[in-house]
Amino acid sequence: SIGYAKDAFHVFYEGIILKDADPKSFEFIENSDYAKDRKSIFYAGTKIEGIAINTFKLLPNGYAKDKNKVLYRKSIVEGADVKTFEVIKTSGPSVYNDFNEYSGYGKDKKNIYYYDKVVHDVDKATFTIMNAGMSKDKNHVIVGSRISEYMDPETLELFSEIYYLKDKNNVYFIYEPMKDIDLPSFVYVGKGYIKDKYKVYYLGKPVEGADVETFSASKVGDAEDKNFYYFGGAKMLGGK
């Protein structure tokens, strides 16, 4: 496991001695930041109190459990039901989370969770995952564990570049409304670019001087208009 090491006398995490760890029985748990010795479970160098070693089990995406508790990393997921808890698969990555198979969400017979937090006021019957860090039910769009005050669950549209979203009311960049966008003329260009009839934007910021009408994605740089090629939201020197 990344960060751990040991010798005959000590266990280390990132060069610091773990005073509570037993070097003779200490083991690194593969594909995780968890480790264990004969008495305790550790996460990223921190001892987690009260975990039953003989029933400890890794779950996807940083989750784990023993016979009594569900963990997310080194935090206990308060109230989670061990017997029915599962990590929910995702349909794709999010702005904050690049896991492709599993989301940051979990569920049990009672609740929906985002990492170690309960997601409140969710209609479980209509709850669906949109990407690794985003979900919705019939009433709300949920970003992480927070219900969005802006987004409309019925009309929300995701693009291949996950930091842009659109619904009947707004275009969003990293989950926040872009206030100056003309929604009826909005066009998703790709490679970080969008435009409306007034402006071109790159990663949420205007591209000064770009010609809206002719602006498109390009094999030269990453975009072009009638006058320039663009890369990373800036004009490439020399024009066309």
The predicted pLDDT at position 228 comes to: 95
What is the pLDDT confidence band of residue 101, given thresholds at 50, 70 and 90? Answer: confident
- Which pTM was predicted? 0.83
Sign of the dihedral through C-alpha 97, 100, 106, 112 = positive
Rounded mean pLDDT, 119-124? 94
The predicted pLDDT at position 128 comes to: 92
What is the pLDDT confidence band of residue 99, given thresholds at 50, 70 and 90? Answer: low
Rounded mean pLDDT, 44-59? 94
Distance CA 98, CA 92 (A): 8
The predicted pLDDT at position 163 comes to: 86
Q: Is the pLDDT of residue 160 over 80?
A: no
What is the pLDDT confidence band of residue 132, given thresholds at 50, 70 and 90? Answer: confident
140 and 130 in contact (C-beta within 8 Å)? no
The predicted pLDDT at position 7 comes to: 94
Render pLDDT for 80-95 as a digit per residue (tens, 0 to 9). 999 999 999 886 655 5
Strands lying side by side in the sheet with 176-177: 157-158, 164-166, 171-173, 176-177
Position with higher pLDDT, 20 vs 207? 207
